[in-house]
Every structure is written in structure tokens, then in C-alpha cells.
A and B are shown apart, each in its own frame.
Chain A
Amino acid sequence: MTSTMLPAPTQWRASRMVIAVTVCIAAAVVLVYPSRADAALPSVELHLVDDADRPLANVLASLSVLDPPVDGPAGVAAVDVGQGRTNASGRVAVPVAFSDRLARLARTNGGWVNFEVAFEGQPMAFISFSRRWSGANWVDRSGASSAVMELQMRRLTAIESRAVASPRTMRTLSGYPHATCVWWGPISSTQSGAIVGELHTGHDVRGSFQYGATADSDLDVGYKYGSGSWFASGTAHVGTSESAEVAWINKGPEWRYALTSEFLFGKYEYIHDASCGPNGRYDYKVAVARWVGGTGTEAKKTGTWCTTTRYRTKYYPGSRLNRYSYRAHKYSVGISAFGATLGGVSGYSQYVDFSLTTGTQMAYYWLCGDTDYPTRSQVVWSP
């Protein structure tokens, strides 16, 4: 009522203010809303280049996950979770929503989801990698949400061109035992030991090593195309979300072993039909499913230790060096599964606990690291 009693110039000023405020709100909505929408859309970023580091533009990348888990009945095991086409720079942010399925997979794997990427019409194979759900986006080990999966052709095993159907067609053709152009399985599963750490105690030194609880590993994923050999292409993350842990406790002097624990691996089969590759070719994949615990050792390590002074460090008698939540060694030994040794398959453990305690028989003790000082090195020796 009051405004109707205002003189005309005042009303005009008020109207102008209302218009200005409205325009500002509208501008804010227009400018802010799309960026909020983009920010709310989680994505996995890929960068694809060829042998000469040239970007591969306008290529369709298809991301999938393995589900159901390895101990379920065999069936269509790959589920598409997102697709995107690379831009002129060879980059693509594949939108991957945190669906109920991915939430379940992450929940049973310490927050990590193992993806596989395939590219339409490229002379390349499948590549496995993992990302952790941060609550808002997909992040890598460093926690970076903008982590880019760098994929370079020359590092990959080139095979015949294959096509990724878009969307993937699920069918069982006459003459094929199960659905084609998709991973099928697990056709079998097996337990195998993988090295999760290394413990060396020298003269009058004791040590402990603990894996589990918050420990985790990245294990290579093995692939075999047609009649070719097994090879590794990327890794799968296996988190130990369970409260279980295994430990090698208070090992006495001169105890030098690589430490192993057991993991469950699943084997999957991919039959090509004419629509997705060489008709009738069988591909195989072996991927880690989960950690199942257990402690073991490989053959005792022999040799001479602390032979150089570079990362040699002197410790007082009775010193106890504890390292926890640290990243352990990347082991380049093979894992045997299904009668095939997956060359290059490796364990990459982090968040393990480790301690060495020097005795009191000597005036001082040397501890040595292989890649840095004992407080940071991958393996710690004592002579």
C-alpha cells in the first residue's frame, strides 16, 4: 500500500532496483547453476595418445566394472558404467555416477572400484585401473580428483583392431557357449600368494611386519588374447576393508624373507563375434578379487647387506624404529594363477606397519635402506 502512495520518481527508482536485483539473481543462476551441475557430476579422466605422443582425438572410450564378484555364478561379468569421446587433445572426462552397484563394489573393497577401459576401433587391448570414491568424485592414490589416466599406445600390446559396441550388445549367438563381446565369468577362481612386504633382521635385531586392517595392494591384471601369451595391462586394487590383519611378529635375528599373503583371483573369458573383433577368438583375463589373509614367506634371502654407506644409519642399542601407514615395495615377481605365471604381475602394498628393534649386545647398530634412508626406504636391512 505504501508504494502506491509514493511519488512517480520514487516508484520508478524502486522498480529499477527490483529489475536490477532480478537481473542479478537471474545472472547468478545462469552462471552458477551449470558449474554446480558440472561439479556434481563425477568423472574419470583419461588421456589417450599414440606412439608418437600425438593425441588420439574423437575416440569413444568405454568404462566397465567386473560384477558379480568372483565367487558368484558365472555370467555376464562386465557392466558398462560410462562412455565418452576424446576431444582434440585426446582427453575425455567419462561421467561415472556413483551408482548403488559401484557403492557396493567400493564398500567391499576399501572404497576402491576397479575399472576397465576399452576404446572403439583402436588397435589396443583392455586396460585395468582403479579409482577411489572420495564422497564427491573419483580420486587416485594421491587423492587428486583431477587424476588423469594416461594411456599411451606404445606401452600397450597391439592386437588386431576391435570395436566396442555402443551400447554393448548382449547376446548368445548360435554356436557360442555364452554371451559374446563381453567378459563372462568367473569361469574359475583360485587362491595365490602375493608378496606384501619384506622383513630383514640382522645380528641382534628383531622385527615385525603387519599387513591388513587398512593395508591394500595393487596387483596387475593379466590378459591373454587368442593364442598369445599372458601379459599385464594395468592394475586392480584390492583393499582390506575387513578388520582382519596378518602379522609376522617379533621375528628374531637373521630373519630375512619376502612375506606373502593369499589373494583370490578370478578368470574371465571374452568371446569375439564378427561384430566386435576376430570372429570366434577367445580372450582371457585374470584379476584379483580380494585378499583372503594368511601368512607365508618365500625362500630365505641370502647375501650381504649394508654394503654401501649411502643410506646407512647408525642407531643406539635398544632403538625401536616404527614405520606405519607407509608404502611398501613394488615387487616384480610373478603370481601363478590357473597354471599360468602372469609375467610382470606385481604387488604394491601400502599402509603396512613395520618395526625393527636393535638389541643391546653392541655399542651401536647400522640399519640401511635400499632406496633411501631406513625411515623412508622400500626395504630396510640390518647387517
Chain B
Amino acid sequence: MTRVETGARVLSGAGERLATWRRGPRRRILAAVVLVTLVVSLTVIALVTRQSRDSGPLGFDYDGNVSLATQYIKRGEPLTYGLIVRNRGDQPVVLRRVEFVGDTQGASIGPALTAGVNRTWGSIATDQGFPPHGPDPGTLESLAGSVVPAHSDVGPDGSPGVGVNILIRLAFTDGDIHRFTGIRVHYLYEGDTRVYTDPTRLMFCPGTCPDR
């Protein structure tokens, strides 16, 4: 009898503790933990999803690392920097804007133009002046709204396509060495805003650029 009573007291005590726990601060702590976990999980999912959205159809398949140092630039005078983008997607890409990744202090950037896949004069990586010399101005168009055709990563004979040459105006008014770790290209694909970051490391120097 005593043992049963003891057991009942134990059970009763447990029930009370459970009831107290349900009402008490521990429950609020648990709720907070669950909420935080949920928020963190959703954030991670959102970030992962965003990352996958960024790895869209626009790009240039580098086979290694590339850097370009442009030396003996004339301070204050415009020059052209160009990059190639290709679209491996099934739908056209519509370009929106570009931005340099790095310290842009002392740099005047933009506007940007594009030369489409039908150009016949080659392409430009760096050139003096802007718009660049050589291409027929009639073949250039403003970057915003330019189209990179679907499947432009491959040419008619199966070799890499010529892609679209993005041409950006640059002028440096201040500073000695200007370094950039890449260029972000913002574009629309199937109604979604996406970003491609060209990884070419860039240096622009009024004199001789350092080795790295």
C-alpha cells in the first residue's frame, strides 16, 4: 500500500512537473529554439537556392585561372575593358548591368556596350578609348537589354561559340594600382534575375603593374 502511494505520488509529481513545464519558461525556450532553427533552416535553404540561381546559363568556361594586367594607362583617359559571355541555356539571356568587384575608388566605370555574336572583327579585351577603335559603331548596342542568344556557347561547327563581347568604359582619375577580382554581370533568364561573376583578376596601372 505504501509502495502504491509512493508510486502515485511519483506519478502525480511527474504530472505536475509536466504541467508546469508546459506552462513555464522551458516551453518558451523550446519554442524559441524551434523558431530559431526554423529561421536558420529557411535562410540556409534560401541561400542555397539563390546560389543555384546564380549558377545560371550565362558564363565562360575558364580552364584554369586568368589574370590580366593593363599597364601604362593614361590617368583620366578612358579605355575599354571587354569580356566574353556565352549562353548555354535554351532561352535567350537579357543583360541588365555590370559591376566591378573590388576597390572602385578613383575609378569611373560605365557605360557599357555589347557587340553581338554576328560581329566579324574579333573581340576586345582591352583597348584605348571608348567606344573602342575598330568595330563599326553600328554593330554596338547598349548593354541594358542586349540579348545573348540561346546555345551561343557552341558555334555552328561544334567549337566554342564567339559569344557576346561586353565592352565597358573605364577611366582612372586617382590612385596607382587598381585591382578587381571579377566582374558581375546581372541578367534576366526566363523572368528571373541572375548574376554571373567573371573570375578574371584585373589590374590597371599607370606604370608597371606588379607581378601578382
Residues of A within 8 A of B (CB): 2, 5-7, 10, 309-327, 350-351, 360, 363-364, 366-367, 371-376
Contact = CB atoms under 8 A, between A and B. Distances in A.
A5 B65 contact: no
B10 A318 contact: no
Given A322-B67, A327-B64, A314 B125 contact: yes
13 contacts: A5-B3, A6-B11, A313-B122, A318-B71, A320-B69, A322-B67, A360-B72, A371-B160, A373-B123, A374-B125, A375-B60, A376-B60, A376-B63
Most B C-beta atoms less than 10 A away, residue of A5, A311, A314, A317: A314
A309 B134 CA distance: 13
Contacts of A316: 70, 73, 79, 125-128
B69 A322 contact: yes
Contacts of A309: 120-122
Given A314-B123, A316-B127, A324 B7 contact: no
B17 interface: no
A324 B10 contact: no
B200 A375 contact: yes
B64 A323 contact: yes
B123 A312 contact: yes
A314 B62 CA distance: 18
B132 A326 contact: no
B89 to A, nearest CB: 19
Nearest to B81: A316
Interface string B1-31: 0011011101100000000000000000000
B159 interface: yes
B133 A364 contact: yes
Contact of A7 (B7, B60, B122): B7
B84 interface: yes
Given A7-B4, A312-B122, 5 more contacts: A5-B10, A7-B7, A10-B7, A318-B72, A319-B69
Contacts of A323: 64-66
Contacts of B79: 316
B124 interface: yes
Given A5-B6, A314-B123, A363-B128, A319 B70 contact: yes
Contact of A320 (B3, B121, B209): B209
Given A314-B123, A316-B126, A327-B63, A321 B68 contact: yes
Given A6-B10, A316-B79, A360-B72, A324 B65 contact: yes
Contacts of B68: 319-322
A44 B44 CA distance: 35
A212 B65 CA distance: 17
Given A324-B64, A327-B63, A375-B62, A318 B7 contact: no
B162 interface: yes
A376 B70 contact: no
Contacts of B64: 323-327, 350-351
Nearest to A363: B128
Given A5-B7, A309-B120, A326-B64, A319 B160 contact: no
3 closest A-B pairs by CB:
A326-B64, A312-B122, A318-B71
A314 B68 CA distance: 13
B136 interface: no
Contacts of A371: 159-160
A10 B61 CA distance: 66
A166 B194 CA distance: 57
Most B C-beta atoms less than 10 A away, residue of A326, A351, A373: A373
Most A C-beta atoms less than 10 A away, residue of B3, B6, B133, B160: B160
Nearest to A2: B10
Most B C-beta atoms less than 10 A away, residue of A309, A310, A374, A375: A375
